Amino acid sequence: MEIEVKVPVESLEAIRQKAKSLGYSLAAERHFESNLLYDFPGRALGTVGCLLRIRQTPRGGLLTFKGKVVQHESYKIRPEHETWCDDAGAARQILEAIGLRPFFKYEKYREEYRAGDAMLCLDELSFGNFLELEGSPQAIETLAEALGLDRSTFNKRSYADLYAEHCRKLGQPFGDITFKDRPDGNP
């Protein structure tokens, strides 16, 4: 089961320094991730609240299936199954050969820290910076308290949902979340 919350933040540097001062260990240095979501024509997976994703990272491809969200007041909870694949391109070809089609892409830069049984991810997207806290509810609460986070800022929505809201506020059309407007790809 994946249990997580997202927290929008102005500056990731302040969180990074706080995490280091608290002794959190760096699990993954800042790196680029490209995520491609797949579904069948007609969106059969999405219709039942499931998600299939291939994430391209410096380590290789990560194939992830996320089941339907379990209703919870404070956290986003859902079944999650993941496996690493050496060749993300080959994995995409397999998915497409069985009838799945890519329908949404999002890119981010991520840096990961371990804090006991919790994971703290510093995510930079083209429309803002976020913390993703993942672990047991108690581990998330402990981590949030140590970082001085306001629990009222916890968010259970996906990056796609947050971006759709961002686009509506600006009167922009919704589309993929990429860094295409920056020639160097850096936010």
pLDDT of residue 105: 97
Mean pLDDT by 10 residues, the chain (187 residues): 95 93 94 97 96 95 97 94 94 97 97 92 97 96 92 94 95 93 50
* Helices and strands counted in the chain (H then E): 5, 9
Residue 52's DSSP bridge partners are 38, 65
Q: Is residue 137 part of a domain?
A: yes
For the chain, how many structural domains are there in total?
Answer: 1
Q: Is residue 72 part of a domain?
A: yes
Q: Is residue 183 part of a domain?
A: no
Q: Is residue 180 part of a domain?
A: no
pLDDT of residue 58: 93
Farthest-apart Cα atoms in the chain, separation: 49
Residue 15, domain extent: 2-170
Residues whose CB is less than 8 angstroms from the CB of residue 136 and which lie 6 or more positions away in sequence, other chains included: 3, 117, 118
pLDDT of residue 115: 84
Q: Is residue 89 part of a domain?
A: yes
Polymer length in residues for the chain:
187
pLDDT of residue 183: 44
Q: What is the CATH number of the domain that holds 158?
A: 2.40.320.10
Give the DSSP letter of residue 71. Answer: P
Q: Is residue 178 part of a domain?
A: no
Q: Is residue 176 part of a domain?
A: no
Q: Is residue 185 part of a domain?
A: no
pLDDT of residue 117: 87
